[in-house]
Amino acid sequence: MQEYGLYWSIVCLILAVYVLVKGVTAAIRRRQLGSDSLIPPPAYGIAASMLLTFGLGFLKLELPWWGYRAVFPGTAFLFFGIIYMIGRRPLST
């Protein structure tokens, strides 16, 4: 049964990296072309953070009691902030 946890963990981690890269490319496209999409680029950061948290949960790592509680909020703000800073439009002067 633990093998399945490892497989699901690998799938979630690969999807998290894919979604994060997709969010960064959407943010770059938004900045360069000014095009809007159906899903705002920072939402990809939140989705990547959720997938990362699920992937780490399937691994069943021995973390302290605050370990899993710090993973999701920390990565959610980090990924969201990175994609937001990449995708924001420069100020017109």
Give every residue of the chain whose pLDDT is below 50, as ranges: none
Q: Is residue 93 part of a domain?
A: no
Q: Work out how many domains the chain is built from and give that number.
A: 1
Q: Is residue 92 part of a domain?
A: no
Q: How far apart are CA 60 and CA 62, in angstroms?
A: 7
Nearest to 46 by CA among 85, 28, 20: 20
37: exposed, middle or buried (Cβ count in 10 Å: 0-12, 13-18, 19+): exposed
- pTM score of the predicted model: 0.82
Give pLDDT, residue 92: 60
Give pLDDT, residue 38: 82
Residue 65's domain comprises 2-87
